[in-house]
Structure 1
Amino acid sequence: MNSKLIVKAGLIAGALDIIAAFLNFYFKTGKNPTIVLKYIASAIFGKEAMTGGIEMIFTGLLLHFIIAFIFTLFFSLIYKKLWSWFQNTTLIAVLYGFFVWLVMNLAIVPLSRALEIPFSWSGAITNCIILITCIGLPLSYLFRKNNKAI
């Protein structure tokens, strides 16, 4: 396992994902994107996180990157099997981005204390595209680049 690759890929995927989340939130609402980080912190602290200050913003950012690193680590463990099945970087990216969306929306968020956001197809599609683009594609590309011998 290449720990430098995992750290690099986790940082890139986590940064791209949170930037996309900030932009998406800002363009939809016109509100301060740090609300996104408070929402992430609400997974642990519930609705109290939304009225918190800088500590909740930092907690949300830390939690976001922990989750990004967990998904990156998992990807590193399954990448060779995915490549042996599909041998297509883009397809792997799409499948993994969709997998991340499913896990987050069907397991992690519902089992957390995060505030419930009403489901909408447009929101789901947008969020899925963000995860494919910001997590699936960078991970798929970086691990393919570093595993050319497969």
Structure 2
Amino acid sequence: MRSKTKTILLAGLVAGTFDIIAAIFVYSFILDKTTAIKILQSIASGIFKKEAYSGGLQMALYGLGLHYLIALLFAWFYFTIYPYVPLLKKSTIISGLLYGIFVWIIMNLIVLPIVFPILPEKHFDFPLLLSITILMLCIGLPIASFTKKYYSPLQ
């Protein structure tokens, strides 16, 4: 039996896992800019501010939990609007990639500026394109795929 809740949970958990693994792999190992713990503490700092960076593994785990909560919210939103937005039904790949861009816009141009009023200026460069690409591939595509699979028998 199909379940909306299970579909949303699975989409959010898979997308959240792909996204955090990609972020850690790219920024910790390939670019050698930070550590996995610092990435997760940065996420936690959205709630705990500077305290997140001195909280060790506990704050990293809070950051991981917050990361999954955000992924689940984006999965829920896509799943909810899917039946009402015809564009999403045309191509899973295109809608998933576009949704990844949408997620980047929401997070980087709305959420982060609200949570952190002072942010570094954004430049159209490789790191920006890389962050958008990660969200397109790791968040947008999995969420679109799970949602399409759920709704396919109904169409």
Calculate the TM-score normalised by the size of structure 2: 0.88
Q: Is 2:152 the partner of 1:136?
A: no
Cα distance in 1, alignment partners of residues 123 and 11 from structure 2? 30
Q: Which moved more, 1:25-34 or 1:129-138?
A: 25-34
Query: Does structure 1 conserve the Cα–Cα contact (< 8 Å) formed by 2:41 and 2:52?
Result: yes
**Are positions 1:73 and 2:76 aligned together?**
yes
What is the correspondence of 1:63-102 to structure 2 with a 5 Å cutoff? 63-82=66-85, 84-85=86-87, 87-102=90-105
CA contact (8 A) 1:100 1:131 kept: yes
Q: In 2 relative to 1, CA 57–41 (structure 1 residues): closer, same or farther, beyond 3 Å? A: same
Q: 1:58 aligns with which of 55, 61, 70?
A: 61
- 1:112 offset after TM fit, Å? 1.1
Report SS of the residue matched to 2:122: coil
- Segments of 5+ residues of structure 1 without an aligned counterpart are none
- Indicate which of 1, 13, 34 corresponds to 1:11: 13
The 10-residue stretch of structure 1 (73-82 or 8-17) with the greater mean CA deviation from structure 2: 73-82
The alpha-carbon distance between structure 1 residues 130 and 79, as it changes in their structure 2 partners (threshold 3 A), is same
Cα distance in 2 for partners of 1:116, 1:48 equals 18
Quickly say closer, same or farther: Cα 1:117–1:22, change in 2 above 3 A. Answer: farther
> Is structure 2 residue 47 aligned with structure 1 residue 32?
no
Distance 1:31 1:10 in 2: 25
What's the offset of the Cα at 1:20?
0.6
Give % identity.
36
Runs (4+) of structure 1 exceeding 4 A deviation are: none
Which whole-Å deviations, capped at 9, do the CAs of 1:7-49 have from their partners, x for residues lacking one? 1111101100110111111121254211100000111122221
Q: Relative to structure 1, is the Cα distance of residues 30 and 95 closer, same or farther in structure 2, using a 3 angstrom cutoff?
A: closer
Q: Which moved more, 1:56-65 or 1:108-117?
A: 108-117
RMSD after superposition: 1.8
- Displacement of 1:91 after TM fit? 1.2
Secondary structure of the residue that 2:96 maps to in structure 1? helix
Separation in structure 1 between the aligned mates of residue 144 and residue 104 of structure 2, nearest angstrom: 16
